[in-house]
Amino acid sequence: KAVIWWVRKDLRLADNPCLSAALAAGGPVIPVAILDPLHDSWGAAPRFRWGLGLGRFAETLEQIGGRLILRRGDPLEILKELAEDCGAGAVAWSRHYDPGCIERDTRVKAELEKAGLAAKSHPGHLLFEPWRVETKTGGHYKVFTPMWKALRGSDLPEPERAPARWPAPDRWPATDSLEDWALGAPMHRAMPILKGHQRVGEAAAGDRLAWFLDEAVEQYDADRDIPGEDGTSRMSPHLAWGEIGPRSLWHAALRRREEGSKGAETFLKELVWREFAYHLAWHTPRLTRDNWREEWDAFPWNERVTAKVRAWQQGRTGIPFVDAAMREMWVTGTMHNRGRMIVASYLTKHLMTHWRIGMRWFEDCLTDWDPASNALGWQWSAGSGPDATPYFRVFNPVTQLDRFDRNRRYADAWIAEGRRDPSETALSYFEAIPESWGLSPSDPYPDPVVTPEEGRRAALEAYEGRSF
């Protein structure tokens, strides 16, 4: 009997336990991606990047005789209808762990089973299922380092290989067209530029990983903090859309660590940060919505998009590190980790604005948007999260730039104003933003909306007398 594979954020053929299980059943496999009501809550850049990933994955499937079926609507109704149409007895999918997906999937599974279908979710998005990782005393981890120490030696099963030929049904069911889904519509002016910065698909992920392991992993320890260097793996969009499996990364880095690479050890540690984010989101779902430390609920955050917050969103705070990073995100859909830490600190401390406002803006702009890592990153930066940076530690974005962008390569890449010969990337920002923002590269560079000193003073005053 046929199996329906509900394709979600697992756009790959190799290292895909769900796909391997569907193939092992021995019958035809029908891959279907569904544009469902949950996607209405996704931001513009993730929807766009998902669309690019789907397009590329459809091509990959076609190369081996498969096809990606696209349908729009309630997943339960669509899966039932397809199962009937194709004579399928089972539906399989890769598990997700954020509260929105869990709620949807739980309902779908129960109803499919009621309808007599075998519905099964599979691991694959993570290295470790969140409920399988426990502290020595039996609870879940709330601090990163002990979790890392417990997991760093883990010997995981080798990733599954990609199928060479697709087990096609005699007749493929009807499909929507991807263009009709219009996943790139809301941010149309930026889309062509954003598109030019995307590496999409399983093959691109594999190529970049090979480059990283050959050329960058040895210096990763030092270079990963320098935003002007191409010193990190840039695996985040591929991981977010499942174009590479985390086990493939784990095994590749383990092999390098065994050869003595210190950078590979640090890379493995970063992969466990992603696991830590999901571990927390699964055990304490409020991570993605509310202050993880409830003591912060009474803190007088600004909760509105004020003119200063808008300047932050648009990359014109007058603080070069902040502006460079915000522009990098608008143009490329990603932002260097050091930049993320700096802009999050500036918003939540210098502008005293709720981390949720920043998290939502990131959600709208990031092509590597990840519900757990984004929430953890924001709460970590604001001080309201588990194992967070101490809340009273206020990054100075000027001295941070001196330290991490000594040659100003990053600032020059993204700031055009006041430069005699601005870089192409810096100019591309002005092509990518909406005309309504009214900005031009010939404008003078703005004065700071809040200087580092003012911001620090105001933050420390607001913290005074409180203990978190």
Binding-site residues for FAD sit at 220, 232-236, 267, 368-370
Q: Which is nearer to ligand FAD, 166 or 362 (CB)?
A: 362
Rounded CA gap, 82 and 443, in Å?
56
Q: Check residue 324 for interaction with ligand FAD (CB under 6 A).
A: no
Q: Check residue 389 for interaction with ligand FAD (CB under 6 A).
A: no
What DSSP character marks residue 444?
P
Here the tokens at position 23 are: 């193939």
Single-letter residue type at 203:
A
Among 107, 87, 268, which Cα is nearest to 170's? 87
Q: How far apart are the first and last CA of the chain?
A: 57
Q: Check residue 82 for interaction with ligand FAD (CB under 6 A).
A: no
Among 299, 340, 355, 292, which Cα is nearest to 142's? 292
Select from 369, 391, 404, 414 the one that contacts ligand FAD (CB under 6 A).
369
The two counts, helices (H) then strands (E), for the chain are: 21, 5
Select from 341, 394, 415, 426 the one that contacts ligand FAD (CB under 6 A).
341
At 272 the three-state DSSP class reads helix
Q: Check residue 288 for interaction with ligand FAD (CB under 6 A).
A: no
Q: Please, which residues bridge with residue 71 across strands?
A: 34
Select from 67, 72, 234, 419 the one that contacts ligand FAD (CB under 6 A).
234
Q: Which is nearer to ligand FAD, 224 or 354 (CB)?
A: 224
Segment interacting with ligand FAD (CB under 6 A) among 109-117, 251-259, 374-382, 452-460: 374-382
Among 212, 205, 198, 188, which Cα is nearest to 239's? 205
Select from 2, 117, 183, 239 the one that contacts ligand FAD (CB under 6 A).
239
CA distances to 148, 284, 310, 340 from 47, in Å:
32, 26, 23, 21
CB of 371 to ligand FAD, least distance (A): 8
The β-bridge relationship of strands 29-35 and 118-122 is unpaired
Q: Check residue 236 for interaction with ligand FAD (CB under 6 A).
A: yes
Q: Which is nearer to ligand FAD, 43 or 452 (CB)?
A: 43
Q: Check residue 377 for interaction with ligand FAD (CB under 6 A).
A: yes
Name residue, tokens 């493929």: 172
Determine contact, residues 82/32, Cβ cutoff 8 Å.
yes
Q: Between residue 148 and residue 207, which ones bind ligand FAD under the rule CB under 6 A?
A: none
Binding residues: 220, 232-236, 267, 368-370
Q: Check residue 373 for interaction with ligand FAD (CB under 6 A).
A: yes
Determine contact, residues 18/125, Cβ cutoff 8 Å.
no
CB of 455 to ligand FAD, least distance (A): 17
Q: Check residue 121 for interaction with ligand FAD (CB under 6 A).
A: no
CB of 400 to ligand FAD, least distance (A): 13
Single-letter residue type at 462:
A
Q: Where are the alpha helices (DSSP H) in 218-291?
A: 220-223, 236-240, 246-258, 262-283
CB of 216 to ligand FAD, least distance (A): 9
Q: Check residue 233 for interaction with ligand FAD (CB under 6 A).
A: yes
What burial class does residue 52 get, using C-beta atoms within 10 Å of its C-beta: 0-12 exposed, 13-18 middle, 19+ buried? buried
Residue nearest to ligand FAD (CB): 377
Q: Check residue 366 for interaction with ligand FAD (CB under 6 A).
A: yes
Rounded CA gap, 71 and 36, in Å?
9
Select from 45, 79, 86, 235 the one that contacts ligand FAD (CB under 6 A).
235
CB of 45 to ligand FAD, least distance (A): 10
- Binding residues for ligand FAD, how many (CB under 6 A)? 27
Segment interacting with ligand FAD (CB under 6 A) among 57-65, 135-143, 360-368, 460-468: 360-368
Q: φ and ψ at 340, to 5 degrees?
A: -60, -40
Q: Which is nearer to ligand FAD, 82 or 342 (CB)?
A: 342
Interface contacts to ligand FAD, rule CB under 6 A: 224, 232-236, 239-240, 270-271, 273-274, 277, 337, 340-341, 344, 362, 366, 368-370, 373-374, 377-378, 381
